[in-house]
């Protein structure tokens, strides 16, 4: 019997769909699941008559594979990945490859890569985005690990991946060890940001008196292929908002509870940002908003304790739609700027050597955040790989400078009708902060720290907001003796 080109472990929806995708591209795929019933149901169902070899013992699974053996784990992140690695190890030889295609924590991937490479086993940790349909028809794939490991899987990944409109496969080598899973984590953080921003815009439109089907029409217009907002998430917002609640005339969206759960990648994004000292307030706002959404009982109780009244504003639907559109676009640029800043910082901290243009390119199709906008990001980084921030790219900078007032107006209108805008507001303030040569509150707190803790402060020149430096270009540091009656200032030398 012909040996399998690749094996997939884990017969939940993503594993099954990927196996079918691989088979449809001409590969023979061995499959295995911890509980045999799922493998059997798959073999007798969607895999019937296909070049898919069901196996029920790990030994048979590994023996069914061509060498070097390529094994893709599509199991829950965490302990199950480590358990399968241990189960597989006795059956593997030098040069065989294990691929973890789940949403694993990138530091686990770094650890596993090291552990396995000490045993001569190659390891790839890869992001696979696009949900069930993507896995089946073409996901975006973000692999990280040894270069030679990627070479072993490159052709299969290119064949099964989504293709962008120019035919380019949505997969590329991201970097060593944890790079692929890190990029996927940030993809998800950005996904949270996008979803929250769209959610705030939709809720605002709803609060100006629009029905769900009207909002769906607006979203459908924004998804026009020439519109700057055109994206998968806008598309599915339009589609899902038209859906009626079964057996009634109500819209499903009006009956779905305002509770958004999460599996953890957004939280990892924020944790990583805290660790690397990179501000990502919009993505954090998206995570915090999900947390607040889950506190339904508290919100119900608090809504009875404090009743806030808002006077609304003069409602002009044309203006509202125009403002909401451009405000959403600016907020999206701001949120992506934050996510990319985090990717850039992690790239140096973990030696991932990430290429932002390349990442934006593989996000153009297949994945959840796919959007035309990503083409513009690729172009911006191709034109200048050393952009200090996405907002500095000339096209984005021009749009933001001309239209920032619309984001301010959106936030103002939303607040006037009591709509919270944690993500939109933080996207706005991120732009304000990053473009502020001087942040007054920071100056004040610098003095406070020096006052109560003698922690020192820096100074700016009297005629420019630049930092005061000495002859050698070193930043000068000062301390005021606050407790002495004359409060003398002295320079600190460290
Ligand atoms: C993707 C998605 C996928 C999944 C998220 C959902 O890229 O295909 O991001 O990974 O839908 O894990 O995450 P939450 O459950 O945290 O919303």
- For residue 221, say whether it is annotated as part of any ligand binding site: no
**Bridge-based pairing state of the strands 140-145 and 122-129:** antiparallel
Give the residue whose CA is nearest to atom 4 of ligand 1.
131
103 lines ligand 1 (CB under 6 A): yes
Architecture per CATH, domain 6-177, reads as 3-Layer(aba) Sandwich (3.40)
Q: Which atom of ligand 1 is nearest to the CA of 290?
A: 17
Q: What does 369-431 look like in DSSP terms, one character per residue?
A: T-BTHHHHHHHHHHH-TT-SSGGGSHHHHHHHHHHHHHHHHHHHHHHHTT---HHHHHHHHHH
> Which neighbouring-strand residues pair with 491?
478
Cα–Cα distance, 288 to 460 (Å, whole number): 35
Q: Structure tokens of 357?
A: 């243009």
Q: For 419-445, what is each residue's pLDDT tens digit?
A: 999 999 999 999 999 999 998 788 899
Q: Which atom of ligand 1 is nearest to the CA of 192?
A: 17
- For residue 24, say whether it is annotated as part of any ligand binding site: no
Contact 410, 197 (CB under 8 A): no
Q: Structure tokens of 140?
A: 């975006």
Q: Which atom of ligand 1 is nearest to the CA of 140?
A: 7
- Helix, strand and coil in the chain, % to nearest 5: 55, 10, 35
265 lines ligand 1 (CB under 6 A): yes
CA nearest 7: which of 52, 74, 62, 71? Answer: 71
Cα(262) to ligand 1 centroid in Å equals 8
CA nearest 291: which of 323, 318, 264? Answer: 264
Is 272 a residue whose pLDDT tops 80?
Answer: yes
Mean pLDDT for the stretch of residues 454-462: 95
Cα–Cα distance, 111 to 473 (Å, whole number): 40
User: Which residues have a Cβ under 8 Å from the Cβ of 82 and sit 6 or more positions away?
Assistant: 108, 112
Q: What percent of the chain has pLDDT over 70?
A: 100
Contact 222, 229 (CB under 8 A): yes
pLDDT for the residue numbered 494: 82
**Could you tell me the end-to-end alpha-carbon distance of the chain, in angstroms, rounded to an integer?**
73
Q: Structure tokens of 6?
A: 């690749």
SS (H, E, C) 133-152: HHHHHCCEEEEEECHHHHHH
Q: Output the average pLDDT for the chain.
A: 97
Identify the three-state secondary structure at position 357. Answer: helix
Cα–Cα distance, 429 to 330 (Å, whole number): 12
129 lines ligand 1 (CB under 6 A): yes
185 lines ligand 1 (CB under 6 A): no
Structural domain spans, the chain: 6-177, 185-434, 440-492
Is 76 a residue whose pLDDT tops 90?
Answer: yes
Mean pLDDT for the stretch of residues 18-37: 98
Give this prediction's pTM: 0.96
Strand order across the beta sheet in which 457-458 lies: 457-458, 477-480, 489-492
Strand order across the beta sheet in which 70-73 lies: 52-54, 29-32, 6-9, 70-73, 97-100, 122-129, 140-145
Buried b (16+ CB within 10 A) or exposed e, 272-285: bbeebebbbbbbbb
**Residue 153 Cα to chain centre, angstroms:** 24
Q: For 140-185, what is each residue's pLDDT tens digit?
A: 999 999 999 999 999 999 999 999 999 999 999 999 999 999 999 9
Is 1 a residue whose pLDDT tops 80?
Answer: no
Q: What percent of the chain has pLDDT over 90?
A: 97
- For residue 115, say whether it is annotated as part of any ligand binding site: no
pLDDT for the residue numbered 442: 84
- Fold of the 185-434 domain: 1.10.1040
């Amino acid at each position: 019997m012909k040996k399998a080109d690749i094996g997939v472990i884990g017969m939940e929806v993503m594993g099954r769909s990927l196996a079918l995708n691989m088979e449809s591209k001409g590969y023979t795929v061995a499959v295995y699941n911890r509980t045999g019933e799922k493998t059997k149901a798959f073999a007798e169902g969607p895999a019937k008559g296909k070049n898919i070899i069901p196996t029920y013992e790990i030994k048979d699974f590994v023996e069914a594979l061509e060498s070097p053996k390529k094994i893709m784990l599509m199991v829950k992140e965490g302990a199950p990945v480590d358990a399968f690695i241990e189960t597989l190890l006795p059956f593997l030889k030098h040069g065989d490859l294990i691929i973890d295609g789940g949403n694993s924590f990138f530091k686990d991937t770094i650890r596993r890569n090291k552990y396995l490479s000490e045993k001569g086993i190659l390891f790839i940790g890869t992001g696979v985005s696009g949900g069930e349909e993507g896995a089946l028809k073409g996901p975006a794939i973000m692999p990280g690990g040894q270069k030679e490991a990627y070479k072993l899987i490159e052709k299969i990944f290119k064949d099964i991946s989504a293709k962008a409109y120019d035919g380019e496969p949505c997969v590329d080598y991201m970097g060593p060890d944890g790079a692929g899973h890190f990029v996927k984590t940030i993809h998800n953080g950005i996904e949270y940001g996008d979803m929250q921003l769209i959610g705030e815009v939709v809720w605002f439109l709803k609060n100006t008196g629009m029905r769900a089907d009207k909002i769906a029409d607006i979203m459908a217009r924004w998804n026009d292929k020439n519109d700057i907002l055109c994206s998968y998430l806008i598309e599915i917002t339009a589609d899902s908002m038209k859906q009626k609640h079964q057996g009634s005339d109500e819209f499903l969206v009006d009956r779905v509870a305002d509770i958004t759960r999460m599996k953890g990648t957004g939280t990892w994004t924020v944790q990583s940002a805290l660790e690397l000292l990179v501000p990502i307030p919009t993505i954090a706002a998206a995570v915090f908003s999900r947390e607040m959404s889950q506190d339904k009982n508290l919100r119900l109780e608090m809504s009875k304790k404090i009743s806030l009244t808002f006077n609304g504003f003069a409602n002009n639907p044309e203006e509202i739609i125009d403002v909401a559109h451009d405000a959403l676009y600016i907020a999206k640029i701001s949120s992506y700027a934050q996510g990319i800043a985090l990717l850039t910082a992690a790239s140096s901290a973990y030696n991932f050597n990430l290429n932002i243009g390349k990442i934006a390119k593989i996000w153009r199709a297949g994945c959840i955040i796919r959007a035309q906008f990503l083409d513009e990001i690729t172009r911006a980084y191709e034109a200048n790989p050393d952009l200090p921030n996405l907002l500095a790219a000339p096209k984005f900078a021009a749009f933001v400078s001309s239209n920032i007032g619309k984001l301010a107006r959106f936030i103002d209108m939303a607040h006037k009708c009591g709509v919270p805008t944690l993500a939109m507001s933080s996207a706005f303030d991120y732009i304000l902060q990053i473009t502020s040569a001087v942040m007054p509150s920071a100056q004040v707190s610098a003095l406070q720290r020096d006052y109560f803790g003698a922690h020192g402060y820096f100074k700016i020149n009297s005629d420019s907001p630049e930092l005061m430096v000495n002859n050698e270009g070193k930043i000068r540091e000062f301390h005021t003796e606050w407790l002495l009656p004359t409060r003398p200032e002295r320079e600190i030398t460290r």
